[in-house]
Amino acid sequence: MRKDDKDLIVKRYHDRLDKYGYDIRALASGVKDRQLIRFKIMSEVGELNNHSILDLGCGFADFYQYLKNGGINVDYTGYDIYPDFIHICRNKFPEARFEIKDIQTDTIHQKFDYVISTQTFNNRLLYDNNEYLIKDIIRKAYDLSNIGVAIDMLTSYVDYKEDNLFYYNPEDVFKFCKSITKRVTLRHDYPLFEFTVYLYKDFAGWSNSKKA
């Protein structure tokens, strides 16, 4: 993502945090009920208990709180490009790790069992290409994972679109994911105008990098 777009996104969240404070409205991700639906879908990527998780665009780390509320014990790390979100999370969850990082540009030396991201890539970019962005993020997230990846995004199957948001074609995303691994699940079965993709590591001897 170009710096111009990143600066606009950071400013957008800064303005919302200044307006709403520590409130779900600062995240621009809808009401709590919708957030809980997304978190349920995220949590179904695999057996998360006693595994390490990287949450890209963690916001207030609400997904971590969701897992804690459900009695799911994880080794949690949250990345976000907006420093104020990271400061809030560090104060609220001192037992977890939070870093101001962008996996597109920063070197990540650690791997995680699962990499997840929810409501992170909905903003329409003005200076860069959303489709290129999501493909680069998916590939990097897959490389950082030991077991699997879960990422959601807005679907192009809608009857109304907001100019500042980007709506992804689920078939195109699925096809791209299949070029990375043969083990892909597309979730477009829940009551939100969104979809989620799960990517899992290929079984030994069953890889897109080799002939079958």
CA separation for the pair 97, 90 (Å, rounded): 7
Q: Strand, coil or helix: what is 125? A: coil
- Does some domain include residue 209? no
User: Which tens digit of pLDDT belongs to each residue from 39-63?
Assistant: 999 999 999 999 999 999 999 999 9
- Does some domain include residue 84? yes
Q: Domain holding 106: CATH number?
A: 3.40.50.150
Q: Backbone dihedral region of 194: left (phi > 0), alpha (psi from -120 to 50 degrees) or beta?
A: beta
Q: What average pLDDT score do residues 144-151 get?
A: 97
- Does some domain include residue 205? no
Indicate the number of domains in the chain: 1
- Does some domain include residue 115? yes
Question: Model-level pTM?
Answer: 0.91
- Does some domain include residue 206? no
Containing structural domain, residue 160: 3-200
User: Which tens digit of pLDDT belongs to each residue from 57-96?
Assistant: 999 999 999 999 999 999 999 999 999 999 999 999 999 9
- Does some domain include residue 91? yes
User: Which tens digit of pLDDT belongs to each residue from 152-163?
Assistant: 999 999 999 999
- Does some domain include residue 132? yes
- Does some domain include residue 212? no
